[in-house]
Chains A and B, each alone.
Chain A
Amino acid sequence: MSHRDYSVTRSSRAARVATVLGAILLVVLIAAPWWAGRADMRLMGELFLYLALASLWNLLAGYAGLVSVGQQAFVGFGGYMLFALTIFAGLPPVVAVLGAGVLGALIAVPVALLIFRLRGAYFAIGTWVVAEVFRLSFAQISALGGGSGSSLPTNIVRSMAASRDGRESLSYWLALGAAVLVITVVYLFLRSRKGLALSAIRDNELAAGSLGIDIWRTKFLVYVITAALTATVGALIFLQKLRISPDAAFSVNDWTAFVIFIVVIGGIGTVEGPIIGTLIFFALRETLADLGTIYLIVLGIVAIMIMLKAPKGVWGLIRARYDLQLFPLGFRVERSNNDKGT
């Protein structure tokens, strides 16, 4: 047995199978307008947008250790920027969605400079204060409907596509595209040099700093990227809803509590976790939603139980049992079978 019998690889059979299955699934999902009903497409669109939000929050909290309970600031900001850019600047909605992302990154810079002064749990509540400031500020802008909000004018809605079916398909594809884009960005970021630095910081901040990693800058970069993508997703959410108000746009329950539950239940600090979590969340919601508040209590209890008993979530349990990694991030040592002679 020499060292040549072993090779270091990132990929695994599970990951290769997952890639193929994922590609097939993606094609099926892209074709949804031809096989799914209107209600199903709306539900799937919403699911993709939650998946995107959950993956972004997971990058922020699970990898960068920036536990924010104020991401609704960027969801709402993105939504309002969609309305402002289409109504006042006359941009086409799809361009305005991208514009909302760029503006989200710009606004995130001063926000980060301010709240990065707070540490740990106080950082979390600081992000919430910022979200409240956004909500109260947008409630003061009478051109956007003030406290009661406004609807997207019909001529702007019509400019997306002539028919209602066309608009629904477009909005579905945009949601699917956002989810795929976010997961790809998160995955590629984690595989990059910066992502390695991020993993090092997550595992031990002191040790990472002593190896020359600029902790502040790495976290800052993650915060701004996450904010930009969250604002983009926010714009898409309100492009689907066609109506915006400060309370809906900056809702801590809708855009942060649910997202946190999704990530915790699925498994924080893994790329797969938010995907599983979103599927579980929507399955629970579709079966228990009639219970109203009881459903939210159940969700809270499930999240607490998971945090206490299985802090790595459902995906963590699966991985502990089967040693799977669908998105290959870590390296593994494998014994090669083909050249036994050497």
Chain B
Amino acid sequence: MVGSLGQPLLFLLALGYGFGPVFKKAGGGNYIEFLAPGIVAMAILFTSVFSGIEIIWDRQFGFLKETLVAPVSRLQIMIGRTLGGATVALLQGIIVLVLAIIAGFRPTHLGLAALSLVFMFCTALLFTALGTAIASVLEDMQGFQLIINFLVMPLFFLSGALFPLEGLPKAIGMVARANPLTYGVDGLRGTLAGFSHFSLGLDFIILLAVVSLFMIIGSYLFSKIQA
């Protein structure tokens, strides 16, 4: 728990205070205000992808195997696991948010801030389902480093968590728009910091659509797991 909080905290403090003056000079305003929702999204992203990927251990050395031979449908197991993983990721996100508030972040509107929980949970569901889908087709942890370097890191860095989407080079802008995390970050920024690139409604609809898609793919691949 402490280990997984260290990274977002480091990002928040180092980048937040490190780039703060430059960001201000460039007319971007308070960087901590901008960054904090992105870091919350990051904490959720990492926790949920990992909890999905843990299936790789779990189906060989863990409790999952016990559930795979039980007279329960795979769909139920997958949904249960995803909800469980997403709940842990949601809690992680909330803790990071509290830490960000201690570090100087101020949510603009309390009612809207409550709505941010919805975006947090959607993001958590989305990436737990993605992690589950990946883990269902991977044999062992060989591919783990690959996933971190070529999926999780790009998802995070190209999501608008660290920089505004306005005025980006076209290619990066396109990639960011295709990245589902972008909408999670944007929704969080809209509800927590009071400004967003897209409308909150659009963020929510896209998240919901991608969540459904990943849940379907994840359930399908999970149902094909052979131990």
Query: Do A and B bind?
Result: no
